[in-house]
Amino acid sequence: MKKMILAIAMVLGASSAHAFTSPTWACSLNFNGAAKGLKVLVGEYKFSGKGNLLCATPTGQVADYPVNVTMDAAPLSPQVSFGYMKLAGQAVEFSLLNLQPEDVLGTYYVAQGQAAVAGGVGVIAATKVGLPQLAIQVSLQFARGLGVNLGLNKMHIELAQ
């Protein structure tokens, strides 16, 4: 019951705090998570993590949200991935024609590459297109572990609960 009341309070508090409207948002997403699996065109390789989405407008409005970030591809898709990596990253996003910062949440199509042998780096380029919005995101990550991930994917950004 406490969890339900807390969830309702968070939703009501979030909806009253989101009186933001602007046609342009610049956002940054920092995140930490882990990716693991085995996939060479067929298989499974997934990323799951938590982060913080901070958005601002040219007029100075600011919104800050805790988020969950997940990535998964279809079982048959253009991707070569194997291993286990812990990733910490920072992404920059520019979003046009979104009136509220919550509009940057959702599903993105991603081209990505990461590699690590004890330590390594990664890069993501993502886009979200929906009428009438356009969002473009570029990310740099630092990786620990052993693995390689190269391919096309879907990324989901949603509010953390």
Q: What is the pLDDT of residues 90-145, one digit of tens each?
A: 999 887 777 777 888 889 999 999 999 999 999 999 998 877 778 889 999 999 99
Closest CA to 155 of 133, 131, 139: 139
- Distance of alpha carbon 98 from alpha carbon 26, whole angstroms: 11
Q: Give which of 102, 114, 103 is closest to 71, Cα–Cα.
A: 114
3 state DSSP class of 101 = helix
What is the chain's mean pLDDT, rounded?
A: 84
Tell me if 47 sits within 8 A of 34, measured CB to CB: yes
Pairwise CA distance, residues 88 & 142, whole Å: 5
Taking only the tens place, the pLDDT of each residue in 68-81 is: 999 988 888 899 99
Amino acid at 62: V
> Which helix (H) or strand (E) segment is 8 a member of?
helix 2-17
User: Dihedral angle at the C-alpha atoms of 53, 141, 48, 136, nearest 10 degrees?
Assistant: 50
pTM of the model: 0.79
- Alpha-carbon distance 119 to 73, whole Å? 24
In this structure, what token pair is assigned to residue 152? 């096309």
pLDDT at residue 70, rounded to an integer:
96
45 in Cβ contact with 35 (< 8 Å): yes
